Structure 1
C-alpha cells in the first residue's frame, strides 16, 4: 500500500504546457504516473506528445475531471495564479492538489488552504517537491530513479533532504515519500503524514525531516508520543543558522528562542524519536532501528 498516491491515481497537470510543467510531466510519465491531461485555457483542445504518450490539454480542471476521472492535480502555475488554480481544482472536486509553485504570497496560501479544506481536498505544499510512491506514481519533481519500493515512510519539509535520505536508504526503499514544503502555511503537515503512515500496513518505520522555524516539529513530537506505535527517526536542518535570517524556505527563520534546531531535536528525542546530527547519521539510525526491530521479532 501507500499513502495519498497510488498507481490508480489519475493525475492532471495545471501548467503542463509551460517549461517546468513540460519537463516534469515527462519525468512523471517515465516514472509510471498516470498523467491523464494538462490544463491551460489558452490551449484547450490540443495535445502534447511525450515520448510514447500523447496527453490532451483541457480548458479547465472541471473539463479534465469530467473527461478523465482525474483525482489528483499537480500545480506548476506562476505564483500570481496559484490561488485561482487551487480554488479551481477544489471546485472541480479534485481529491488531492500538489502545489509545486514557490514564492506564493502567504495571504494567498492562507486563503486557498482554507478553501481546499472546506471542499474536502487534501493540499500538499505549496513550495514543495510533491510526493512519490516508488514503483507506482510520482506527483511533482522528486527524482524517481534514486530509490525503490520499500517499507520506510518519509515526510520532510526539505526537498533536497528528501532526495538525500531517499538515496542513502535506496537499498531499503520507501512506501511513500512526501515533501510537505517549507512555507509558513502548508496544507499537509508532519502530523497528517505520521497519522497516515501509522495506519499504512506496508510502512514499517517513519523518517521525519524538519528544519528551523515555527513549532511544527514540536507538535509532531507530541503526536508521536501519544499516537504513533511505529519507530520514528528524525533529522532537523539548521543547527548553524544565524538568528533572524531566513534560510532557504520562507518559514525557516529563528526568532529569539523560538524555532531552534536544538529545541526541536530535544522535543523529538523526549518523545522517543532517534534524531541524527547529519543526514548520513540519520540513515544509519534508520538501518540500526530496522535491524533491531527485525531481531526482536525473531527472538
Structure 2
C-alpha cells in the first residue's frame, strides 16, 4: 500500500461531472495529481492538470503511477480499470457506482492475478488526513491521528470520523470499501493493511446489515489481527422478517457456525462479541470505547 503525499496519482474520467468537481479539491488537499484521462478530450487541462485521451499516452511522459481514481461512468469503469492495470497501476479507487456485477467479477479476477488493490465501487475512496485525498471524502471531518477507520458505508464513514475528531481522536487513514454488492477489496484485506500500518494504534470498523462481511471480519479479527478493534453496526432497526444476503453466504455462515440469522444486525453484533470486540450501540459511543482501549494500552506499556 502506497498512500503518501509523494504518491503519483492520475484521475480517469477527470472531465466527468464529479471528476471536474473533486479533482481540484484533491489537488488542493495535497494529493499529487499528475494527469487526467478523458477519452476524446485529450489536450485540455483542469486546474493546471494535463488531460489525455488514454493512459497509454500519459505513461511515457509521466513514468510509473501509484494510484488511479476513477470517476468514469459505470459502463466505462471496467475498461478504465483494466487499462490502468495494463499500464502497471496497482491501486485503483473506484468512485463510480452502478458498475454491472459481471464487470466487477471480471475486474476482481484480473486484480487478484496482478496483485492490484481495488477500493470500491460506489465508494468515497481513501483519505490520509492532513496528507492526501483520493476520492470525495469531506476533508473538514477528519484530522490526523492514530485511529484506522474502515467502513462499508460512505456517509457513515464521515459521521464516525467527525465524532472521533470532535473527541480529539484523529485518524491515520479512512477508507470506505464501497456499497455495491460486489466489492473490490474486503474487510479482511483492510484489517490486515491497518494491522501492519505503523501509524495506526486502534482500528474502528463500521458495518451495516446485509451479507456476511461483518461476520467474516469478526472471525478474521479473532484469528489474525493483533491491534485492538472497535465495531459499530448500522441498521439495528431494520425489520427482521427479511433475509439479507445470498444463498451461498447463508450456507457458508451455517457451516462456519456464524448463526442462522446472517445479515441481521443481531447476527453481526453477536459475531463481534464472540470475537471479544467491543461494539458501540451508536456512533457517539465510539470515542469512549477507543479511549478506553488506548488507556489500557498505555497502562500495559508502563
TM-score normalised by length of structure 2: 0.90
- Of the three residues 110, 113, 116, the one matched with 1:121 is 116
Q: Structure 1 residue 32 and structure 2 residue 36: aligned?
A: no
- Of the three residues 86, 89, 95, the one matched with 1:94 is 89
Could you tell me how far apart the structure 1 residues matched to 2:284 and 2:2 are? Answer: 27
1:154 corresponding residue in structure 2? 149
Cα offset, 1:245, TM superposition: 8.4
Contact 1:9 1:137 in 2 (8 A): no
Could you tell me how far apart the structure 1 residues matched to 2:58 and 2:236 are? Answer: 45
Unaligned runs of at least 5 residues, structure 2 = 245-259
Contact 1:12 1:36 in 2 (8 A): yes
Structure 1 runs of 4+ with >4 Å offset = none
C-alpha RMSD over aligned residues: 1.8
Unaligned runs of at least 5 residues, structure 1 = 247-255
1:193 corresponding residue in structure 2? 190
1:4 and 1:153, CA in 2 relative to 1: closer, same or farther beyond 3 A?
farther
TM-score normalised by length of structure 1: 0.90
1:221 corresponding residue in structure 2? 218
**Equivalent residues in 2 for 1:221-240 (5 A)?**
221-240=218-237
Contact 1:24 1:140 in 2 (8 A): yes
2:276 corresponding residue in structure 1? 272
- Of the three residues 100, 105, 108, the one matched with 1:105 is 100
Contact 1:126 1:187 in 2 (8 A): yes
Number of aligned positions between the proteins: 285
**Equivalent residues in 2 for 1:1-299 (5 A)?**
4-48=2-46, 50=47, 54-68=48-62, 69-170=64-165, 171-242=168-239, 243-244=241-242, 257-298=261-302
Contact 1:93 1:121 in 2 (8 A): no
Deviations 1:51-91 (A, max 9, x none): xxx10001212322332232211111111111111111111
Give the match's secondary structure for 2:134: strand
Cα offset, 1:117, TM superposition: 2.1
Cα offset, 1:4, TM superposition: 4.2
2:251 corresponding residue in structure 1? none
